[in-house]
Every structure is written in structure tokens, then in C-alpha cells.
Amino acid sequence: MREGSKLWSRRVILPEMREKAVHTCRACCFLVEIQGRRESRPGCVAGIPRYGTLERRVPLKIHALDILKMAGREGLRAALARGNPEHPACGFFRPR
């Protein structure tokens, strides 16, 4: 096909994916402030079973010790790794 083809220059976004493509993690209910001993960082708690399945209400602020009890050290590392508010929303996105 030609490089300047109108058909190939357009993006197609399915309706159910539009909400995830438009929003960032900042608008997600799973993005919380994780409070440590000296500092607090944003983190995504969608990977923690109690919060990911909405068994428990997702708080705005949670202590790192609580996450350590629920998910262990690897769960805390994973939550902090996915905690950038500027990233595009993932498959677990739920608006606040």
C-alpha cells in the first residue's frame, strides 16, 4: 500500500478501549498514596487481591506495612512500580 493512504493514516479505537486510552492513572481509583516511614509515593493496588476484586474499599492513603501484610515484599514493589500518575490507564482502570 502507499505511504500516504488515508485508510492507513487513521487510528481505530474500539468504544470499550476509548476510556482506557483517554485517561491516565491519576483518574483511577486504584492509584493510592503509599505511606512509608519517611516518605510517601503513589502506587497502584490493583494487583493486590483484596483491592483488585473490590472486596475492600480502596482508600486514598495506605501504609506500606499494611501492603506488606497483605501481599508481601514483592507485592509492595509491584505496587510502587506501577505508581506513575502520568502513565496511560491499564486494563484495571476504574474511574474515581
Work out the pLDDT band at 76, boundaries 50, 70, 90.
very high
Question: What was the pLDDT predicted at 24?
Answer: 83
Structure-model confidence comparison of residues 16 and 5, the more confident one:
16
The span from the CA of 4 to the CA of 52, in Å, is 44
pTM: 0.71
Structure-model confidence comparison of residues 21 and 29, the more confident one:
29
Domain boundaries defined on the chain: 12-81
DSSP output for 60-83: SEEEHHHHHHHHHHHHHHHHHHT-
- Whether 19 shows a pLDDT value over 80: the answer reads no
The span from the CA of 79 to the CA of 90, in Å, is 13
User: Which tens digits make up the pLDDT trace of 33-65?
Assistant: 999 999 999 999 998 989 888 888 999 999 999
Strand 40-44, strand 31-35: pairing: antiparallel
The span from the CA of 66 to the CA of 71, in Å, is 9
